[in-house]
Structure 1
C-alpha cells in the first residue's frame, strides 16, 4: 500500500485517472482533479507529512475549523463542502450516501449516468466542482474571503455551461 496515499483505495485506479483526461473540463480543472486523485495537492496534512513547518491553527480546515485539512475532508467530508455536493445531488435527482475517498467518489458520481456520454458529462461536472471547491478554499485561506456556498453553487452551474456539459447529459 502506498502510505502517501493512505486515504484512497489500496489499488491505484488508473481507469479513473484516464477518465479525468478524457473530458471537456478545463485543463486546469483536470490537473487539479488528477492531483486530488493522487493525493498530491498542497493540503495542510500533505504539507505536514513533508515536514513543512505549520502552526497548529494552519492545519485545520479553514472552512469548518473542526478537522485537520485532508484531501478527503476538504472535498468530501467537510460540512461546508458537503452542502455543495448535497445541492448537486438534489439537482441530479439522486439521494445516496457519498463515498469518503476521492477515487470512490468520482467513480460513484460518474456511474450515476447510464451511458458513456452521460458518464463523461458527470465526470467533467465532478472535475469542475472539485476545481471550484479548491479555488474557494484558496480564496478563503490566502485572500481572507468568506466561504460563500451560494456563489460556489452558482459558479459550478456557470462552469458546467462554459464547457457545454449540460447538453451532453442524458438523464435516464
Structure 2
C-alpha cells in the first residue's frame, strides 16, 4: 500500500472513495478493500497471525516463485499477470499497475465498462 507520513496518499484515498461508491457487489468491494490493506489470508499473513506455523512454506501456491503476499498474488505472480492481461484486454484498458492499490484503482476508474 502507498502511504505518506500522515496516512494514505491522495491517489489511494480517491481509489477508496470510488471503490466504496462502486456499484459492484459488496463482497467484491470488501475483497478489494482487504487486498488493498493487505488483510486477505495469504500464506504470509497466516504465518504472521499464527494460523500457520513459522516453519510452513510462505511460497505462492500458484507459481512457487515468491512469498505469497497480497501484492505478489495480485500483481507479481505469473499466473496473476496472465489473468490481469486477459481481463484488461477484454476491458480494453492498459495494464500498468505495480501494486495492489493501483491495480484496484485502475479497475475502479473503468467507468462505463460492464462485466
Query: Is TM-score (shorter-chain normalized) higher than 0.5?
Result: yes
State which structure, 1 or 2, has the greater radius of gyration over its C-alpha atoms.
Answer: 1
Give deviations 1:23-66, integer Å, cap 9, x for gaps: 12111111111111111112111222334424433x11111111
Larger relative helix fraction: 1
CA-atom RMSD in angstroms: 2.2
Unmatched 5+ residue regions in structure 1? 1-7, 123-164, 167-172
TM-score scaled to structure 1, two decimals?
0.54
Aligned residue for 1:56, secondary structure, equals coil
For 1:25-64, what aligned pairs fall within 5 Å after superposition? 25-52=24-51, 53-57=53-57, 59-64=58-63
In the comparison of the two structures, how many residue pairs are matched?
108
CA distance 1:29–1:108, shift in 2 (3 Å): closer
How far apart, in 1, do the equivalents of 2:76 and 2:3 lie? 20
Q: Which stretch shows the higher mean deviation, 12-21 or 80-89?
A: 12-21
Matching residue of 1:105: 103
Asked if structure 1 preserves the Cα contact closer than 8 Å seen for 2:32 and 2:104, the reply is no
Unmatched 5+ residue regions in structure 2? none
